[in-house]
Structure 1
Amino acid sequence: MNILFLCTGNSCRSVLSEGTFNHLAPEGWQAISAGSQPTGTLHPRAVALLHRKGISTEGYYSKSWDDLPVTPDIVVTVCSSAAGETCPAYLGPVLRTHWGLDDPGHVVGTDEQIEAAFERTYAIILARMHAFLALPLEELQADRNRFKTELDRIGTLLP
């Protein structure tokens, strides 16, 4: 199963989600990330945070949803509608859910405040990934409606 974490710029939240999921995922599951308007670069603080957590970013780059190496089975949008962002809507016959996250890359303040925002975003992502991977995934693949309900519920979880 391929999961696409989708945002607008594909530089921070979607990359943090991709890396975290791939680090924890069972065999046969893989995440990719993309953006509707990719920035072309990964946010250096996102990359540094993943490395501090022991998560590889080898081969990761900011890419368009038009250039995906695989077709996703599940699309998780991670932009934050509360922040006034326009979250892209992926078109295609996939299971879709929204796990809104504020963009730590837009936080203004001291290094400590910015770093705290990145750590908070990572903590939310990590909690959601653990909840996702705790689901009876094989069982849910046969019941798309229940799978969608569970995915939507996970999108509301906070650590």
Structure 2
Amino acid sequence: MKSYNILFLCTGNSARSILAEALITTLSSGKFIGYSAGSNPAGRVNPFASELAIEMGYPKEKLRSKNWDEYSLPDAPQMDFVITVCDNAANEVCPIWLGHPSIAHWGFPDPASVEGTDVIKREAFQKTLLGLKKNIEALIYLPIDQLDLFSLKKAIQDIHDK
């Protein structure tokens, strides 16, 4: 089975993109290898995102906030897909991605911006996790090898727009 590299982008790379990286990697049975990065990385993974990622079986040592420039270098893994998961990152000028990956935007509210008790914050992270999981499960089951590039890009965007 062919595996696909997928990069999830967010501004801070501390919550949504980290959760997406962990979800796609743990749910896809090797079909996708998830990566994440940010345009202005926070430098640390949000503890609530880290907790959820580890609970789903994602290795703690892979949880790292990183700059998206890391994936535009010549020796970086070539991405098949790039998906922004926050509106800020979607509106920024991204690096040039080698290999011309299919690009889509799945905007989710930032759970890290939620104020209140830890219970309220965990609920926000859980809600984001469930939304990402719904999209990622739909992506996993797309017949990628049967779609032309235009149809594939539309199908990936339509996952979130429905």
TM-score tier by shorter-chain length is 0.7 to 0.9
TM-score after normalising by structure 2: 0.86
- Once structures 1 and 2 are overlaid, which stretch shifts more, 44-53 or 88-97? 88-97
Aligned match of 2:138: 131
Superposed, 1:1-159 pairs within 5 Å as: 1-68=4-71, 69-79=76-86, 81=87, 85=88, 87=90, 88-90=92-94, 91-92=96-97, 93-140=100-147, 143-157=148-162
Q: Residues of 1 paired with 2:60 and 2:146: CA distance? A: 31
Q: Residues of 1 paired with 2:93 and 2:107: CA distance? A: 13
Q: Residues of 2 paired with 1:155 and 1:89: CA distance? A: 22
Question: How far 1:50 moved relative to its partner?
Answer: 1.7
Q: Residues of 2 paired with 1:6 and 1:30: CA distance? A: 14
The list of structure 1 runs, each at least 4 consecutive aligned residues, that deviate by more than 6 angstroms after superposition, is none
Matched residue SS, 2:60? coil
Counterpart amino acid of 1:105? Answer: A
Matched residue SS, 1:101? coil
Contact kept? 2:39, 2:89, Cα under 8 Å: no
Q: Residues of 2 paired with 1:153 and 1:70: CA distance? A: 26
Q: Residues of 1 paired with 2:89 and 2:62: CA distance? A: 27
Counterpart amino acid of 2:64? Answer: Y
Q: Residues of 2 paired with 1:18 and 1:150: CA distance? A: 20
Question: How far 1:113 moved relative to its partner?
Answer: 1.3
Indicate how the Cα distance of structure 1 residues 86 and 27 shifts in structure 2: closer, same or farther if over 3 A, else same: closer
Question: How far 1:156 moved relative to its partner?
Answer: 2.5
Contact kept? 1:19, 1:57, Cα under 8 Å: no
Counterpart amino acid of 2:156? Answer: L
Across the aligned residues of Structure 1 and Structure 2, the Cα RMSD in angstroms comes to 1.6
Indicate how the Cα distance of structure 1 residues 51 and 11 shifts in structure 2: closer, same or farther if over 3 A, else same: same
Contact kept? 1:11, 1:42, Cα under 8 Å: yes
Question: How far 1:103 moved relative to its partner?
Answer: 0.6
Q: Which runs of 5+ in 2 are unaligned?
A: none
Q: Residues of 1 paired with 2:29 and 2:48: CA distance? A: 27
Matched residue SS, 1:58? helix
